[in-house]
Amino acid sequence: MSERKVVGRNVAIALGIICIILVVGLIVAVANYTSIIKGKDDTIASLQNQVGDLNSIINLEKSTVWVNDQTVSQPASSYTYWTVSADYAGYISVQVQTSTTTNTYVRVIWSAYGVNYDHQITVGTSGTAVFPVLPCSNIEIRVGNSNIVNGATETVTITYHY
């Protein structure tokens, strides 16, 4: 009987050690998978932020001010221009807050994807002109006057909506 108790005790000890090893392995596996799941959750959150950002671009909800309340002066029949780049399709709004002439105009020129765009809008002493734009570099935005004798001074804000 005593041999049987020794064998039973050794089996119980061996089973206890195996259980401890299995529990430790289980704890390590759970910790490892928890870390992996957290990494995946972080990746999902980052991708959701990117999707939200891209949806805002698709819906033209983003904007960048390119020129903010800048005052410019030109001689007669002249203009001031800015050259900018657009990363996304959208539109440009050019607001002339004040001008010393009723002959103030805004002109936008760009070329992209086989489209050559060149359009001019007269805004007078104040007003806003809006122009579509495709993704491209070298967009030229002009604010000028068509006065024959006198120059002009304008205060301008240019915003890119995308």
As beta bridge partners, residue 86 has 136
Residue range 136-142: mean pLDDT, rounded: 97
Residue range 75-83: mean pLDDT, rounded: 98
> Which segment of 7-11, 73-77, 105-109 scores lowest on mean pLDDT?
7-11
pLDDT category, 4, cuts 50, 70, 90?
Answer: low
Distance separating alpha carbons of residues 149 and 147, to the nearest angstrom: 6
pLDDT category, 14, cuts 50, 70, 90?
Answer: very high
Residue range 27-37: mean pLDDT, rounded: 96
Give Rg (Cα) of the chain: 35
Answer left, alpha or beta for residue 127, where phi above 0 means left and psi between -120 and 50 means alpha.
left
Residue range 104-118: mean pLDDT, rounded: 98
Query: What local confidence, expressed as pLDDT, does residue 160 receive?
Result: 98
Give the H/E segment covering residue 122: strand 115-122
63-161 folds as Jelly Rolls (2.60.120)
Query: What local confidence, expressed as pLDDT, does residue 9 receive?
Result: 86
Please give the model's pTM, rounded to 2 decimal places: 0.78
Distance separating alpha carbons of residues 41 and 50, to the nearest angstrom: 14
Query: What local confidence, expressed as pLDDT, does residue 154 receive?
Result: 98
Task: Name the residue ranges covered by the structural domains of the chain.
Answer: 1-59, 63-161
pLDDT category, 6, cuts 50, 70, 90?
Answer: low
